[in-house]
Amino acid sequence: MRLLLLFCLLLCMHGTSFAQLTVADVRQTWATRQGTIESATLSVRPKGLYMECGLYLTFSAKGVTFNTNGDSLEVLLRFNLPEGSTVHDSWLWVGDEISKARIFDRWTASAIYEGIVKRRIDPSVLFKNSTTQYQLRVFPMARTNTRRVKITWLQPATLGRENTTLDLPFDLLKYSSTPLSKFNLLVWTNDRFKVPSLLNQPNTYFEEVEDTIDGGHFYRTVLNSNQFTNDVKLAFASPLRNGYYLAAGASEGEQFYQLAVMPNYFLPGSRRRKVALCLDFEPGNTSGLSTSQILVAAKNTMLNNFITGDSFNLFISGLSIRKAADRWLPAHPDTIRSAFNLIAGQLAPYSNLTTLLPFSIEWVKAHGNEGAIVLASNGNQFANLSASNNFLNDVLSITPPTISINSLNYCDINNYFYLNNTYYYANSYLLSTLAAQTKGAYVKAAFSTIQSPNFAPGLESLFYNMGTNTSTFDINLSPKDGFCYARLNVSNNGTLVNLDRPVLQVGKYLGTAPFNLAVGGVLDDQLVLSNVEVPQSEIETIDTLSREIWYGKFIQTLEAEQQSTPTVNNILFNSLNNRVLSRYTAFLCLEDSSYYCDNCTDETQLTSTDDLSTSDSLVNVYPNPFETRTTIQIKALFASNEHPTFEIYDLKGRLVYIFNLSAGVTEQKIEWDGQALSGSETPAGVYFGLMKMKDRTVVIKLVKI
């Protein structure tokens, strides 16, 4: 009991953390100012369902004006990571040496750190305060010097039908007193996660760079400050094949697996959706968002959420309402891209909600009389009760019970009124009431304090809330001559399973490949069973971090339980023995030669990102996306002895087309008409252009619609 009380006290002391970066003089408690991030680099390595992220940060006291006594400054960074992340390492630079953290129980680490602060020896300590909140302290730092750290964590990726995406830690950058101008991104790949790209940034390119330490290659790019938004995500093609993904491997005598299953692939009786997507936009009501960004985000969301058998149509605001087609369209990726191409540039820069919503309802009624209206609007013309109720009555009077209205409110205007102990902002009363009255879903987009609103995550959340749920769905994986055990769900932690989202699971197993995957569920009172044999060729091999992934998830499961002394002891034992951070442990770095790491690779030293040009100074593709033809503009001077080329590959890594470039010129243009080397027309989809030079390879994404 004494142990539990001690840790509860520690958590109470640190549990009120919030996001910030400060520099303080430990000998002048009143002297605290906002700190500065001088540089930031993120390395990303796919690890199955997770991505290993290594964040390099350099701190300074730039702008601090109070007098300091020598090097008595302490850096305090309070930050957030996505829920489900597992921190498994921390580094501190001591001169040219890297001090690699050791893991301690939280009380011991705190006592050592606080004692060192008094003795003025270089340490850093990293705590976990909640499911998403963390705290890093670094001491000492002179006012004119900098301190450098690295934090490494395993973050669950977001799997979809088309893409696997990773949220980038841009929120952390806003804590800097002096705004950061660029963010360096280094990405390693493997057979299932081949070529990286940036979602919603088609003209940002990656350079392929040789890994001079571990061999092979990796990709690098530099993001500018106007790209530090939550709409920009790192993306790969989805690893799902035939509705599932399986990875397996061994570590320290135990065998681990990672499994992703898309339920709607195995339940053919699952509900097929008819969705009328309606887009309405008032530029003055949402800063930092354009019509083109809305269309790109809407297209990507539909590509990731629709399956074979779904249908859709698009409606956009204007003087008159424009639609993509006169009928329901099949939700095939090529059809989705073609539909958005038809309405490209036509979304009006003003709201016409009063015409758009009734128009789409009447269209659905005339084409089967059932479906879902998905309305994304940022209007504020109904920011009062009287106007809202009048329009509500009119809309509900023409809406049959077979049509649901699902709304995303992404307005950034603070017009509001108060009703029944609730503040309703802009059109939130209208949109939320419509959703409630028609059995639809409602989402209010959260807003970023950096640059722009979270339109894309908001729309993604709306589609998630619209998904079909069932409590009678299960998956069972078993290897040849063995069995699986210790299963932990990375997603779908409740009793309901969303059939439109992959079920992610990690576990342990005994036996050998092949595996048998059994999927079962009940939908509409019908039992559906599927059995798939997964051969060795379809199983990705995962490295030793599979251990940290499983134990990190196991510890998170224990932390979510009611805390008792046995539970705390269990968390402590598994955290300390498997080197993953918990709420009861800490990573501590010291200025001690026994902590110095001789084989730690500083990935930022593999290549300098200072010489990486911006995309418009080296390669630019326009239009992109394109339908029949695109122009590739290249601004690079090739030596006379070079033989530069521009090659186009599909997502499976197959060469589609090749252009020979000219040496000795500073600018040249080539055009691709979407045809393959054989002369056949290539299908709509994502392609990658590689410009091969003597000392580098530039990779840029091309999207054919």
Which residues span the domain enclosing 379? Answer: 274-465
Q: Are residues 583 and 624 in the same domain?
A: no
Q: Are residues 101 and 168 in the same domain?
A: yes
Q: Are residues 203 and 288 in the same domain?
A: no
pLDDT band per the 50, 70, 90 thresholds, residue 5: very low
pLDDT band per the 50, 70, 90 thresholds, residue 367: very high
What residue type is assigned to position 300 of the chain?
N
Residue 602 lies in a domain: no
How much is the pLDDT for 4? 47
What residue type is assigned to position 196 of the chain?
P
Residue 304 lies in a domain: yes
Residue 39 lies in a domain: yes
Residue 606 lies in a domain: no
Contact partners, residue 85, CB within 8 Å, separation at least 6: 132, 153, 154, 155, 156
Measured CA to CA, the distance from residue 55 to residue 90 in angstroms comes to: 10
Residue 491 lies in a domain: no
Residue 325 lies in a domain: yes
Q: Domain boundary residue among 434, 465, 496? A: 465
User: In this predicted model, what pLDDT tens digit does every residue of 270-309 receive, in sequence order?
Assistant: 567 899 999 999 988 887 788 888 888 899 888 888 877 7
Q: What mean pLDDT do residues 225-249 have?
A: 87
Which residues partner with 209 through β-bridges?
218
Q: Are residues 455 and 570 in the same domain?
A: no
Q: Domain boundary residue among 465, 486, 508? A: 465
Measured CA to CA, the distance from residue 14 to residue 168 in angstroms comes to: 25
Q: How many distinct structural domains can be found in the chain? A: 3
With 50 as the cut, is the pLDDT of residue 448 above it? no
Signed CA dihedral, 491, 497, 498, 504: sign only: positive
User: In this predicted model, what pLDDT tens digit does every residue of 516-562 receive, in sequence order?
Assistant: 999 988 877 778 888 999 999 899 998 779 999 999 999 999 999 99
How much is the pLDDT for 614? 46
Q: Are residues 341 and 451 in the same domain?
A: yes
Measured CA to CA, the distance from residue 459 to residue 262 in angstroms comes to: 20
pLDDT band per the 50, 70, 90 thresholds, residue 354: very high
* Residue the block writes with tokens 């499983």: 550
Q: Are residues 588 and 625 in the same domain?
A: no
pLDDT band per the 50, 70, 90 thresholds, residue 68: low
User: In this predicted model, what pLDDT tens digit does every residue of 212-222 receive, in sequence order?
Assistant: 878 888 999 98
* Mean pLDDT lowest among 132-141, 245-254, 615-624: 615-624
**Distance from chain centroid for Cα 616:** 25
What residue type is assigned to position 635 of the chain?
K
How much is the pLDDT for 16? 43
**Is the backbone peptide bond immediately before 514 cis, with ω within 30 degrees of 0?**
yes
With 60 as the cut, is the pLDDT of residue 493 above it? no
Instruction: Tell me the CATH number at 652.
Output: 2.60.40.4070
Q: What mean pLDDT do residues 224-250 have?
A: 87
Instruction: Tell me the CATH number at 331.
Output: 3.40.50.410
Measured CA to CA, the distance from residue 609 to residue 185 in angstroms comes to: 9
> Which segments of 311-369 are extended strands (E)?
311-316, 322-323, 329-330
Exposure of 413 by Cβ count < 10 A (0-12 exposed, 13-18 middle, 19+ buried)? middle
Q: What mean pLDDT do residues 45-64 have?
A: 92
Measured CA to CA, the distance from residue 446 to residue 428 in angstroms comes to: 13
How much is the pLDDT for 314? 96
Tokens at residue 47, please? 């690890």
Residue (of 54, 56, 53, 20) closest to 39 by Cα position: 56
Q: What mean pLDDT do residues 473-501 have?
A: 84
Q: Are residues 456 and 572 in the same domain?
A: no
How much is the pLDDT for 487? 94
Measured CA to CA, the distance from residue 298 to residue 301 in angstroms comes to: 5
Which residues partner with 158 through β-bridges?
165
Q: Are residues 188 and 284 in the same domain?
A: no
Residue 455 lies in a domain: yes
Q: Are residues 150 and 209 in the same domain?
A: yes
Q: Are residues 355 and 438 in the same domain?
A: yes
* Mean pLDDT lowest among 2-16, 213-227, 238-252: 2-16
Exposure of 17 by Cβ count < 10 A (0-12 exposed, 13-18 middle, 19+ buried)? middle
What residue type is assigned to position 276 of the chain?
A
Instruction: Tell me the CATH number at 92.
Output: 2.60.40.1730
Measured CA to CA, the distance from residue 240 to residue 540 in angstroms comes to: 11
With 50 as the cut, is the pLDDT of residue 15 above it? no
Q: Domain boundary residue among 415, 444, 465? A: 465
Q: What percent of the chain has pLDDT over 70?
A: 90
DSSP string, 457-507: HHHHHHHHHHS-EES-EEEEEEEEEEEEEEEEESS--SS-EETTS-EEEEE
Burial 536-571 (b: 16+ CB within 10 A, else e): eebbbebeebbbbbbbbbbbbebbeeebeeeebeeb
Residue (of 234, 252, 244, 225) closest to 52 by Cα position: 234
pLDDT band per the 50, 70, 90 thresholds, residue 191: confident
Q: Please, what is the average pLDDT of the chain?
A: 85
Residue (of 313, 42, 287, 45) closest to 157 by Cα position: 45
Burial 31-64 (b: 16+ CB within 10 A, else e): bebbbbbbbbbbbbbbbbbbbbbbbbbbbbbbeb
How much is the pLDDT for 399? 94
Residue (of 109, 55, 124, 123) closest to 85 by Cα position: 55
User: In this predicted model, what pLDDT tens digit does every residue of 253-265 receive, in sequence order?
Assistant: 899 999 999 888 8
User: In this predicted model, what pLDDT tens digit does every residue of 114-134 receive, in sequence order?
Assistant: 777 775 566 899 999 999 999
Evaluate whether 244 touches 261 at the Cβ level (below 8 Å).
yes
Residue 176 lies in a domain: yes
Measured CA to CA, the distance from residue 378 to residue 592 in angstroms comes to: 56
Q: Are residues 562 and 628 in the same domain?
A: no
Q: Are residues 566 and 638 in the same domain?
A: no
Measured CA to CA, the distance from residue 344 to residue 298 in angstroms comes to: 12
Tokens at residue 468, please? 């079909």
Residue (of 448, 504, 495, 446) closest to 477 by Cα position: 504
